[in-house]
């Protein structure tokens, strides 16, 4: 349910779900994405903030089945600048992580023309 709430941009419903079960912030879907991946892809900055506030500090380092963290997803989906800012603020080490092919976030920005 949290992935769907995040996908649809339903902040209040997402908050309600998280207040009842904060561990939902780390549940993966069939693609290996945690809710923060979904919020990052959709540019839902308020939901991303809530997930970063409630979830464990390492949620921003969670890798999907393609090896991407939420920061990579935010960049790939059109450079979600506000979300990128929140993610790098909350998790400074995310900007130094490399994809399996050795690419950093900066390589990813150039590759995605962001």
Pseudo-torsion of CA 24, 98, 75, 41, nearest 10°? -20
CA distance 34 to 28: 5
The CATH homologous superfamily to which domain 2-111 belongs is Ankyrin repeat-containing domain (1.25.40.20)
The answer to whether residue 114 scores a pLDDT higher than 60 is no
Q: Is the separation of the CB atoms in 59 and 51 below 8 Å?
A: yes
User: In which element (H, E) is residue 76 found?
Assistant: helix 70-76
- 4-18 pLDDT, tens per residue? 999 999 999 999 999
CA quadruple 39, 45, 49, 54: dihedral positive or negative?
negative
Alpha-carbon distance of 60 to 76, in angstroms, equals 16
**pTM of model > 0.75:** yes
Give me the residue spans of the domains in the chain. 2-111
Question: For the segment 43-88, what is each residue's pLDDT rounded down to a tens digit?
Answer: 999 999 999 999 877 889 999 999 999 999 998 877 688 999 999 9
């Amino acid at each position: 349910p949290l992935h769907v709430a995040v996908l649809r941009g339903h902040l209040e419903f997402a908050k309600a779900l998280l207040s009842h079960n904060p561990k939902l912030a780390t549940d993966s879907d069939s693609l290996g994405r945690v809710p923060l991946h979904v919020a990052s892809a959709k540019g839902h900055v308020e939901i991303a903030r809530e997930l970063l506030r409630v979830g464990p500090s390492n949620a921003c380092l969670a890798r999907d089945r393609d090896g991407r963290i939420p920061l990579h997803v935010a960049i790939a989906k059109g450079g979600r600048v506000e979300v990128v800012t929140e993610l790098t603020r909350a998790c400074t080490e995310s900007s130094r992580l490399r994809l399996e092919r050795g690419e950093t976030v900066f390589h990813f920005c150039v590759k995605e023309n962001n």
